Amino acid sequence: MQPISGVATVRGRRGLLALVLGALLALVTACAGGGGSGDDGTKGGGTEAAKPRPSRARVTVEPGDKAKDVATGGALRVTAAKGTLTSVKVEDEKGRAVAGKTADGGASWKPDGRLRADTTYTVDALAKDADGRAARKHTTFTTLKPDETFVGVYSPEDGSKVGVGMPVSLRFNRGITHPGAVEKAIEVSASPSVPIASHWFGNDRLDFRPEKYWKPGTKVTLKLDLDGVEGRPGVYGEQDKTVKFTIGRSQISVVDAKAHTMKIKRDGKTLKTIPITAGAPGNETYNGTMVISEKLAVTRMDGATVGFKGEYDIKDVPHAMRLSDSGTFLHGNYWAGRSTFGSANVSHGCVGLFDQRGGGDPSTPAAWFFGQSLIGDVVIVKNSDDETIQPGNGLSDWNMSWEQWRA
């Protein structure tokens, strides 16, 4: 009887194993949804989930992917058909974002300004259709590398302290035929804030100034964003720079050509009155408001460079301060007798102050005034038998009214 009992035990184990396997199979089948309604709503559907329908929205980026020599202005545009743009991100190769705005109810996007030259950009755009399904586009393109470029030589220098009459002046190395585009890429601001306006002198110079002289202590910022700006056909800017300078104390000097004197006022108070010599008859000094644009401890003055051929060539003029582009200086004079200053006008149009040869004596009027002066200080000449200096001759911007300047 013992062997029979053993067979029965084996069969019991097999039955138990079959029961467990059946239960597991039923569980797996239930998890798979077998035998129930399918995802498509039909009885006895398959085990795979239905694939979502694609978005009806279509995103288009102009220029096309991997385009080369793309124009810096007007070429970039992102549009969405049968959908709305929800995100547009454009960055250059350094990760700098390009600002832009959507329009037409989200159907299009354009950058706020032009792009940089010779730069690779990436575009990532997202649009959604009416059902909220997303369509994406990723492209890259590279802007043109200009064959010809232009720059603006600016004054004053970055970090400098200047007088109250100093305008911001930019002189371009190429004539500008698209002034609006260039001017739009230049910003001049001041703290404390004051209205500032620009004015073109010809097609190669752009100046900025307030209505009246700057207030002492004002901090002025010039931002040049000319990279990629087409200044003339086929000629593009290449500057991306910020320049900051500070306005120092107010110093305004008034030269009276008839009285042969110069009165210096510092912050509204008379500092000193100095005897001078101005332009002789036939070579009178310009009248009007001028601004010191350059200071030279010693310089050469050759009459041939300003139309006086052979009349003078002085190789060591001390304490020279430029007042005009046409050769007007306020400078030290060691070759005229001291009695000349305050009594006669003998120069070729400059304003002369008594000095020693080499400028080594700090007690002379010329040395003293040179040490007291800043680039941007104002020098006003009156009572000379000559015309008023033209506003574009040197930094003589203040000879235009505010209305003329803005026009």
| Catalytic site positions | 331, 350
User: In 104-233, where does DSSP find H-type helix?
Assistant: 179-184
Closest C-alpha to 173, from 206, 222, 139:
206
**Is the CB of residue 80 less than 8 Å from the CB of residue 88?**
no
Task: State phi, psi for 75 to the nearest 5 degrees.
Answer: -95, -30
Measured in whole angstroms, how far is the alpha carbon of residue 252 from the centre of its chain? Answer: 31
Q: Which two tokens stand for residue 274?
A: 């100095």
Buried-state track 212-221, b at ≥16 Cβ within 10 A, e below 16: ebbeeebebe
Q: Which two tokens stand for residue 97?
A: 């974002």
Q: How far apart are CA 174 and CA 151, in angstroms?
A: 8
The vertex-303 CA angle with 297 and 307, nearest 5°, equals 135
Q: How far apart are CA 110 and CA 98, in angstroms?
A: 10
Measured in whole angstroms, how far is the alpha carbon of residue 111 from the centre of its chain? Answer: 17
Buried-state track 32-67, b at ≥16 Cβ within 10 A, e below 16: eeeeeeeeeeeeebeeeeeeeeebebebebebeeee
Around 42, how many Cα atoms within 13 Å sit in the side-chain half-sphere? 6
